[in-house]
Amino acid sequence: MLYYPLINPPRAILHEAALYWDTLATIVPADEVVEFSDDVRTLHDAGLYRPITETPRLELDEVAPVLRQLWSQVPREDLLPPADTARDRRTRIIATKLTPELRAFLIAHGLARPGPDDGELVVSPTTQELVIGLAAPAYATLVGSLHPHTDQATAFRAATQPYTGEVELSTRPRRGTDSVEACWLVTLDNLLPVPAPEVPLDDVLAFRQRHEAERLRLVRGVTRLVRELRAHDDRPGDVLRAVEHELTAALDEFRRAARASRMTWLYRSLAVAIALGATAGVRPEPELSWLLGTVNGIAINIATGELRTSTAGWRHPDVAYLHRAHTRWAG
C-alpha cells in the first residue's frame, strides 16, 4: 500500500494497512528530518512501514497540461494557498519532491508560495491532493510492488482521471488518451472490517498476530476477486460466483475473531479501479453500472469506465484504491 497525499496517514488507514496490506509506504523527503507520528513509528517497529525517498522525475511540459485540466474542474478559491501559515501538513508540499520548474509553475500561477520552513511550499489542501495525486502512481511504479491508496476523492481523481488533451513534449506531441484504458470501477461494501479509529494500533497489531490465519484467508479472497476481474473482463458475474464461497467463508471466520476481540469495529467502503489492458473485451460505458450481488451482507457494485494508465511516461500500477466512509457495527 502506497498511501498519499500525507506522510502520516490517519489511524483508519493505519488499521487497514496493518490488517490487509503487509507494507504501508508513504512519500517522504530524503534529505530532511521527518516528524513521524507515533502510530507510523509503531508500524515501522513492527516491520510494516516503508518510507519512499526515491523521486520520479516528472517534466513540466508533460504534467502541466494535465494539472490545468484538473484545476479547471475546481473552484479557483479552493486552489489558493491559505493566508494562515500555521503548520498543517495538509497545506504543505515537500518542495524537493517536485522539479524546480514545477515549483516555479505553481508559484507563478498563484497556487503555491514558499513556506516558512526551507524545502516546503504552502498550498491549499485541494492543490496538495491534485499535485501529489497526479504523481503518486509514478512513485508506486518507481519503487515497484506497491499500489496507490488514498482516502481523498480529489487525490484519487488526480491519480486516475483520463487526460483528453494534448501533451506538448520537447520531442513530439502525444495525445493524453494514448495512456487511457478501459477499467472496472468496483465498490466493495461490508467486506473489510477494521477497528474503530479510537482503538490503539498496538491492539490491532496484537489481533493481527493472534488471528493471522483468518486475516490471510480474507486477504487472499479479496486479492483473487481483483485478479480474476482483471483476467476475465468480459464475465464479471462468473467471477463473482467463482469467488463467492471463498469470500463469504473467509469473512465469516474473520467476523467471529473480531467479535471475540471485544474491540469496536467498522466496515469501510473500498473503491477499486482495475485497468483491463488495451485489448480488453469490455468497452468502457461510463453510464453502465450494476450490482453484481449481495452475498452474506457483502455488496459488490461494478461499473465500466476509463482509467489513466501512465503519467509523464511512467506506467501506472494496474489497480488503484480509494478508501471511503465507514459504518459501525458491534465487534
Give the model confidence (pLDDT) of 9-48 as tens digits.
Answer: 999 999 999 999 989 999 998 877 889 999 999 999 999 9
Q: What is the pLDDT of residue 278?
A: 64
Whether the pLDDT of residue 174 is over 50: the answer is: no
Cβ contact 222:40 at 8 Å: no
Helices (H) and strands (E) in the chain, counts: 10, 16
Nearest Cα residue to 179 out of 169, 192, 194, 164:
164
Judge whether 280 lies within some domain: yes
Q: Model confidence at 305, in pLDDT bands (50, 70, 90)?
A: confident
Judge whether 57 lies within some domain: no
Q: How many domains does the chain have?
A: 1
Judge whether 46 lies within some domain: no
Judge whether 166 lies within some domain: no
Q: What is the mean pLDDT of residues 53-79?
A: 91
Which of the given ranges, 80-94, 115-129, 272-286, has the highest pLDDT on average? 115-129
Helix (H, G, I), strand (E, B) or coil at 262: coil
Percentage of the chain beyond pLDDT 90 is: 57
Judge whether 182 lies within some domain: yes
Whether the pLDDT of residue 111 is over 50: the answer is: yes
Q: What is the pLDDT of residue 283?
A: 55
Domain that includes residue 198, residue range: 178-329
Whole-prediction pTM: 0.90
Judge whether 279 lies within some domain: yes
Q: What is the pLDDT of residue 166?
A: 60
The strand ranges marked E within the chain are 2-3, 24-27, 49-52, 92-94, 113-114, 120-122, 148-150, 166-168, 173-175, 180-195, 265-275, 289-295, 298-308, 310-311, 314-315, 319-329
Backbone CA torsion sign across 170, 172, 173, 179 = negative
Query: Can you tell me which residue has the cell 468480459?
Result: 234
Nearest Cα residue to 327 out of 265, 272, 254, 253:
265
Q: What is the pLDDT of residue 313?
A: 81
Nearest Cα residue to 314 out of 163, 157, 134:
134
Q: What is the mean pLDDT of residues 132-142?
A: 94
Q: Which helix (H) or strand (E) holds 62?
A: helix 60-71
Cβ contact 218:20 at 8 Å: yes
- Cα atoms found within 13 Å of the Cα of residue 151, Cβ hemisphere only: 15
Judge whether 303 lies within some domain: yes
The better pLDDT of the pair 189, 8 is held by 8
Give the model confidence (pLDDT) of 222-239 as tens digits.
Answer: 999 999 998 888 888 888
Phi and psi, residue 28, nearest 5°: -130, 155
Whether the pLDDT of residue 171 is over 50: the answer is: no
Judge whether 17 lies within some domain: no
